[in-house]
Every structure is written in C-alpha cells, then in structure tokens.
C-alpha cells in the first residue's frame, strides 16, 4: 500500500530523510517513533506530499506520489492526515468541517455528504456536537472530529502525526480508542506517536527513526524487549 524507496529530503543543507526504505502492507499499522527532530513528521508528510522529496520514490496504492503529474487532490483523498493540532476550520461547524472536502473534491451531493458525516461522527462518538464550532469542543473531541473528517474522504491510508501529544492526559485514551477501532477495521495506518501502550497493543511494526534513517524495524514485542541500537535503548529509557 505504501512503499518508500531510497527517499532523501533536504531542508537546505539539512539532510532530514537519509535513504528511507519502507514497505507498509494493506491493513498494516506501523508506529513511527524516534527523538524530536529525527524526521518523523517529514517522513509521513511526504506520503501525501505535504512535503516534497529530493530523491527516491514513494508509491501509495500504486501511484507515484512524488511525480509532478500526480493530482494532489486525488492523492490526498486517498491518504488522510491527522495533525497534532487538529487543524479544523475554526469558522465552520463540525458537520461542515467534515462535508467540505467530500462536496468540493469528490463532488458528493450535500445530503449524501451529511449522511456520511453523521455516521462518521457517531463512529467517533461526537454526533451530538455536529452543529458546534471547533472552539466549543474539548481537544479530544476536536481530534476525534478531525479523524472523522479524514475518513469522510474514504481514504485507503490514514497518517497520524502525534495525534495525542497536544491533548490533556484524560483525553488521550478516547482518541487512541478511535484509532484502535480504525486499525481493527482494517485501515492501513502510519502513526507517529510516543504512546508506547498503543504501539504494543495495536502496531504490527514499530519503526525507530534517528537522524533521518530507519535504525530499527520490528514487531512491537521485539522492539520493546530487545532493541538493537543504543540510540533506541536510550530513547526507550527516556520514555519510562
Ligand atoms: P520530528 O517530527 O521527528 O520531530 P521533523 O520531521 O519535524 O522531525 O524535522 C526534522 C528536521 O527538519 C528538524 O531538524 C527540523 O527542525 C527540520 N525541519 C522540519 N521542517 C522544516 C522546514 N519546513 N524547513 C526547514 N527545516 C525543517
Ligand atoms: Mg514531528
């Protein structure tokens, strides 16, 4: 479903992605972890071209995403993205946040888009907030709405960039629960997170990134019990 082939990215002379090779199978959940500044956000952002790359190839669902001819709207319909800071449109109601792209990009009619939106809001437990504005919601509710918004495009892949790190602790669980349900429904997911409980329980594989390189790639039980690299061991110790 997702294939990174020798991907390189520079920000000026900073080599942020240094030869990334990674395959994510359909239905797989891959957790990406690593120190701050190691390139995790840049890595997942390249998969829907929120960031361009300088060398290598990225294929998502059979499309070469870095090809300048790729239609970015079509690509982003297939690859949903959930941000750390939710990024809901503040001037739109919850319902309108969700129906905007299906109507504008997928040309869904309004009634069908709203029906789908309500179903998705029920799935993430925020249907009672459909007429509220984002500022009237808790962080956990906003993030669950943001997940529903991504799902409204009926994507093949969902990418999450530290989706719970801006939340108060008591709201982290409700968002992780929605993500776990999504994983169990068979969605292909790449999740940047330091929630190691989620990684243990839900991930098929954990990727440890440092200085723009994948240093380890292992099933969670192996990664947590027996990390190979000193940098990974040090990172895991800091999380305890
Ligand atoms: P992580 O998500 O692992 O914390 P990032 O992918 O955000 O790391 O960043 C990797 C490196 O690239 C960091 O040194 C960061 O400062 C730098 N960086 C990220 N985005 C930009 C940008 N738009 N312009 C210049 N440097 C950037
Ligand atoms: Mg980041």
ipTM value > 0.90: yes
**From ligand 1's centre to the CA of 204, what distance in Å?**
26
Q: How high is the pLDDT of residue 145?
A: 98
Atom of ligand 1 nearest to the CA of 34: 3
Q: CA angle, corner 67, sides to 108 and 18, nearest 5?
A: 120
**From ligand 2's centre to the CA of 73, what distance in Å?**
23
Atom of ligand 1 nearest to the CA of 162: 2
Compute mean pLDDT per 10 residues along the chain, 240 residues long, and list them: 98 97 98 97 96 97 91 91 96 98 95 98 97 98 98 97 96 97 98 96 98 97 95 92
Q: How high is the pLDDT of residue 240?
A: 74
Q: How high is the pLDDT of residue 201?
A: 97
Cβ of 42 less than 6 Å from ligand 1: yes
Q: How high is the pLDDT of residue 150?
A: 97
Cβ of 52 less than 6 Å from ligand 1: no
The preferred substitution site among 16, 41, 81, 215 for testing ligand 1, maximizing ligand atoms within 8 Å of CB, is 16
Neighbouring C-alpha atoms within 13 Å toward the C-beta of 118: 7
Nearest CA-CA partner of 114 in 135, 133, 93, 134 = 93
**From ligand 2's centre to the CA of 100, what distance in Å?**
27
Cβ of 186 less than 6 Å from ligand 1: no
Q: How high is the pLDDT of residue 68?
A: 87
Q: 227 φ, ψ to 5°?
A: -65, 140
Residue nearest to atom 13 of ligand 1 (CA): 37
């Amino acid at each position: 479903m997702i294939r990174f082939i020798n991907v390189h990215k520079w920000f000026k002379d900073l080599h942020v992605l240094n030869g990334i090779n990674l395959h994510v199978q359909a239905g797989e959940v891959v957790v990406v972890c690593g120190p701050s500044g190691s390139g995790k956000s840049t890595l997942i952002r390249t998969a829907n071209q929120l960031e361009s790359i300088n060398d290598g190839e990225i294929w998502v669902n059979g499309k070469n995403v870095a090809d300048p001819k790729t239609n970015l709207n079509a690509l982003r319909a297939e690859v949903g993205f959930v941000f750390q800071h939710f990024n809901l449109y503040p001037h739109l109601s919850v319902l309108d946040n969700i129906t905007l792209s299906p109507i504008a990009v997928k040309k869904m009619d309004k009634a069908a888009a709203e029906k789908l939106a309500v179903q998705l809001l029920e799935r993430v437990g925020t249907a009672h907030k459909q007429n509220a504005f984002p500022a009237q919601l808790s962080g956990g509710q906003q993030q669950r709405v943001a997940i529903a918004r991504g799902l409204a495009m009926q994507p093949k892949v969902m990418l999450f960039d530290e989706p719970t790190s801006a939340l108060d602790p008591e709201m982290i669980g409700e968002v992780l629960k929605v993500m776990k349900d999504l994983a169990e429904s068979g969605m292909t997911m790449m999740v940047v997170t330091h929630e190691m409980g989620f990684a243990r329980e839900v991930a098929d594989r954990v990727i440890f990134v440092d200085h723009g390189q994948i240093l380890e790639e292992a099933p969670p039980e192996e990664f947590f019990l027996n990390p190979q690299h000193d940098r990974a061991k040090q990172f895991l110790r800091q999380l305890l």
